[in-house]
Amino acid sequence: MARAFLIVMDSVGCGGAPDAGDFGDKGANTLGHIAEACAAGRAEQGRSGPLRMPNLDALGLGAAIKLASGLDAPGLGAVPMGRWGAATEVSRGKDTPSGHWELAGVPVPWDWTYFPDKIPAFSDDLVALVCKLAGTEGILGNCHASGVPIIEQHCAEHLRTGWPICYTSADSVFQIAAHEEAFGLERLLKLCQDLAPHLHAMKVGRVIARPFTGTPGAFKRTANRHDYAMDPPAPTLLEWVQGAGRSTHAIGKIGDIFSMKGIGKLWKGKGDLDLFDHLDRLAGEAEDGSLTFANFVEFDTLYGHPRDVAGYARALEWFDSRVGALLQLLRPGDLAIFTADHGNDPTWTGTEHTRERVPVLCAGVGVGEIGLRAFADVGASVAAHLGVAAQGVGRSFL
């Protein structure tokens, strides 16, 4: 019985979103601009020369970038040997839950709540609630910020006062950073868990625990991050498959993103290296008829938000090197889809996600262009491949 592997390269967009201008992102192109920077010698730290992604390019990566945005990405000009295309999002957001839910067949039917980009960013009532739940007299931060700089700014005061560091971004999120030992990891997780229902009622998509260790000037964020996301608005691909009596495996953040709805087994790790080891293992072990849904987050967190072009290129090349071996592990009849949930162009202004189309690259189902599709078509296609009834709005491209 056929199996399916849906693999999300978090933030690996390919430009061309027709509504990018509405988000201040007209012209953003994560893959295209990284490829241009590499070809121009502007991404030489830890690597050198043009962007090298031969395995995904052979599936149609370069062709997908051109289809999505019109850009001929330097170094990505292979003749596709897989099924390939690009997908456009309709949900009004450029965030992780919107992208993943829509890929799984369920666009977001509401507008998310975003906090204003001013200081303070949070209302007095919300701050009071955080203080009550945390048992503190105040909070630190209270603004739009990127994770590493805001911890750097407030680490010493956090250790002195015990007040949590609270911040947001252009996404619909409320993030709380705290020291694993001084504040307590379990205390931080409980704070976020207790706060989440209030913020979800406000249509804030996620409350994120951001634990760290170390001292001022020498701190390190840990792998114990946890996202408390809203439930999807309707059953997703994971629930369709599980409801049909099939096994489902989630790798990485998928459990958080989908609030464990429809997930049979969850596999986590300290980083993308561990997650790819899980993916390789499941390619050998996953049950007939099963769905494996994976998210690889480090493109986004380690390189997209910090605007590290060379680091992003290194991560892409490492990932591609693992893809070649993974494809050899697939069984006849298996489907593997490589895609993304949004963009995060490291050459762009600011530190936030970028509104982009995403590549859709399919292995195991022949050769040919699938054209410009909807995000929801990905979920419908996986369901069709598994012989499971789709309940969403997408149409299969298989």
Residues flagged as binding site for Mn(2+)? 10, 300, 305, 341-342, 353
The answer to whether 356 touches 30, Cβ cutoff 8 Å, is yes
Return the H-helix or E-strand segment holding 329: helix 309-329
Indicate the SS3 state at residue 331. Answer: coil
C-alpha–C-alpha distance, residues 181 and 333, integer Å: 49
Nearest Cα to 216, choosing from 152, 160, 165? 152
The H-assigned helical ranges of 104-181 are 124-134, 147-161
The answer to whether 168 touches 121, Cβ cutoff 8 Å, is yes
- Identify residue 211 by its one-letter amino acid code: P
The answer to whether 338 touches 24, Cβ cutoff 8 Å, is no
Residue 83 zone, left/alpha/beta (φ > 0; ψ -120 to 50; rest): beta
- Which residues are known binding-site members? 10, 300, 305, 341-342, 353
Nearest Cα to 379, choosing from 291, 266, 252, 263? 291
Indicate the DSSP class of residue 27.
T
Indicate the DSSP class of residue 357.
-
C-alpha–C-alpha distance, residues 243 and 258, integer Å: 15
The answer to whether 165 touches 140, Cβ cutoff 8 Å, is yes
Indicate the DSSP class of residue 20.
G
Strands 226-229 and 4-9: unpaired
C-alpha–C-alpha distance, residues 38 and 388, integer Å: 42
